[in-house]
Amino acid sequence: MDLIMEATTVEKYTFKDFASDQEVRWCPGCDDYVILRSMQKALPEMGLRREDVVFISGIGCSSRFPYYMETYGMHSIHGRATAIASGVKLANPKLSVWVVTGDGDSMAIGGNHFIHVLRRNINLNILLFNNEIYGLTKGQFSPTSLVGQKTKSSPYGNTQPPFSPGELAIGAQARFFARIGGNTPKEMTELFVEAEKFKGTSLIEILQNCVIFNDNCFSKYTDKDIREDKQLFVEHGKPMIFGKNKDKGLVLNRLKLEVVTLGENGITEADILVHDAKEQDPALHLMLVRLDYPLVTGIIRSFDDVTLEEREKELTAKVKAGSNFTKTDDLFFSGETYEIK
């Protein structure tokens, strides 16, 4: 709220204002460059003061991110970025706080903090760089690696079934979940702006290609020439239609989503499901998250709810109003005291 009120006094920034003097050191061709640039472009659109922006990361390739942002930042320890960011936000709710994390950082070692931050609905934005592999430690399977995937730590194929980040997040009561391919900067920039606007924990899963250890892991959804046929980019209030020719759509057949072709069997646009991201009941959002064809991108869920900071603020005001204590001396001398003369 306070940020919006002060928006009129905010300087006009360009993406350069958000680039630090540090040399970017990801592997050539990594999607992380795309994400970094998209963020630097999105920030001037958000109407924030630069000094109010904080990036907190854990450990992993993605977690280098804060060093490259000319904002406040902390590159912390493995898995704990969400917990540290929670402390930053609760200490000063006026800040715009971003968590940068990966599939190992947030789903394995940081799994506990990840689910609890979502449950609490603290107004943070979490960028989850999912590349289905441990990159920084050079190629072990992660909690999102596929069964059978050969990695340095699964030479005969991975035997551990993966998490679906969206499914886990919605199960942990995520109010905002979006997914985006790592090679679509324009849509990504827009999603970042939407995530900041959303009041509550926003989680964006970015399908991030690791050119070294898991190259082309998302190619079947994200390659330029096929992505329009393989991805459904959902928008709230719009029918869920996809395909190069905009001729495919989703309908609900009993308890399952089904792909239909417009114009076939009498199907018209009116038969296609209209996306309702704001629905509280997550049933349909979970189905969208789980869908393999088409892979659903865009804002899948965006349900407005009270944040933890709001609850705390309200409760604190109520306690303050009902209390005679204004300073600690009032407390120390209250109740059972006695005098020694």
Partner 1 sequence: MLSSFLIIFQLMKTNKELLQPEVLEAVVIRFVGDSGDGMQLTGTQFSDTSAMFGNDVATFPNYPAEIRAPQGSLYGVSGFQVHIGSVEISTPGDQVDLLVAMNPAGLKTNLYAVKPGHTIIVDTDAFNKKNLEKSQYETNPLEDDSLNNYRVIEVAMTSLTKEALKDVEGLDNRMINRSKNMFALGMVYWMYNRSIAHTIDFFNKKFKNTPNLIQSNTKVLNAGFYFAETLELIPNAYTISPAKMRPGKYRIIMGNMATAWGFLAAAEKSGLELFLGSYPITPATDILHELVKHKHFGVKAFQAEDEIAGITSAIGASFAGDLAITTTSGPGLALKGEAIGLAVMTELPLVIVNVQRGGPSTGLPTKTEQSDLLQAMYGRNGESPVIVIAASTPANCFNFAYEAARLALEHMTPVILLTDGYIANGSAPWKIRTVDEMPEIRNNKILTPTENWYPYNRDEITLARNWAIPGTKDLEHRIGGLEKDKVTGNVSYVPENHEYMTHIRAEKIRRVQYNIPELKTEFAEKGDLLVVGWGGTYGTLHTATKQLSEEGYKNIGFAHFNYINPLPKNTEEVLKRFKKIVVCELNSGQFSKILKINFDGLDIAQFNKIQGLPFSNDELIQQFKQWI
Q: Which residues form the interface with partner 1 (CB under 8 A)?
A: 20, 22, 49-52, 54, 56, 59, 66-67, 69-77, 80, 83-92, 94-95, 112-113, 116, 312, 315-316, 319-320, 323, 325-329, 331-333, 335-341
Q: How far is the CB of 52 from partner 1 (least distance, A)?
A: 6
Smallest separation (angstroms) from partner 1 to the CB of 213: 22
Report the Cα 249 to chain-centroid distance in Å: 26
Supply the minimum distance, in Å, between the C-beta of residue 171 and partner 1: 16
Q: Residue 142 is which amino acid? A: S
Instruction: Give residues with Cβ within 8 angstroms of 189, minimum separation 6.
Output: 38, 39, 41, 42, 45
**Cβ-contact 179, 204 below 8 angstroms:** yes
Nearer to partner 1, 129 or 221 (CB): 129
Residue 66 or 200 having the CB closest to partner 1? 66
Q: Return the number of the residue (70 or 228) whose C-beta is nearest partner 1.
A: 70
CA–CA–CA angle 309, 312, 318 (5° rounding): 140
Q: Give 40 or 71: the residue with its C-beta nearer to partner 1.
A: 71
Residue 256 or 341 with smaller CB distance to partner 1: 341
Structure tokens at 88: 């930053």
Q: Nearer to partner 1 by C-beta: 119 or 236? A: 119
**Residue placing its CB nearer to partner 1 in the complex, 125 or 158:** 125
Q: Which of 191, 51, 58, 76 is nearest to 134 (CA)?
A: 58
Residue 274: CB minimum distance to partner 1, A: 37
Asked if residues 206 and 35 have their Cβ atoms less than 8 Å apart, the reply is yes
13: which residues sit within 8 A by CB, 6+ positions away? 43, 44, 50
Instruction: Give the CA-trace dihedral at 190, 235, 116, 136, to 10 degrees.
Output: -50
| Alpha-carbon gap, residue 18 to 41, rounded angstroms | 8
Q: Provide, rounded to whole angstroms, the least separation between the CB of residue 9 and partner 1.
A: 12
Which is it for strands 202-207 and 248-253: parallel, antiparallel or unpaired? Answer: unpaired
CA dist 290 and 162 (Å) reads 12
Q: Are 206 and 188 in contact, with CB atoms under 8 Å apart?
A: yes
**Rounded Cα–Cα distance for residues 143 and 157 (Å):** 14
Least gap, CB of 182 to partner 1 (angstroms): 23
Nearer to partner 1, 22 or 216 (CB): 22
Shortest gap between Cβ of 135 and partner 1 (angstroms)? 17
State which H helix or E strand residue 308 sits in. helix 308-321
CB of 161 to partner 1, least distance (A): 24
- H or E segment to which residue 4 belongs: helix 2-6
Q: 112 vs 261, which CB is nearer to partner 1?
A: 112
The runs of H, that is alpha helices, within 59-213 are 81-91, 103-104, 111-120, 165-171, 185-197
25: Cβ–Cβ under 8 A, 6 or more apart, which residues? Answer: 64
Residue 181 bridge partners (DSSP): 207
Beta carbon of residue 73, minimum distance to partner 1 (angstroms, whole number): 4
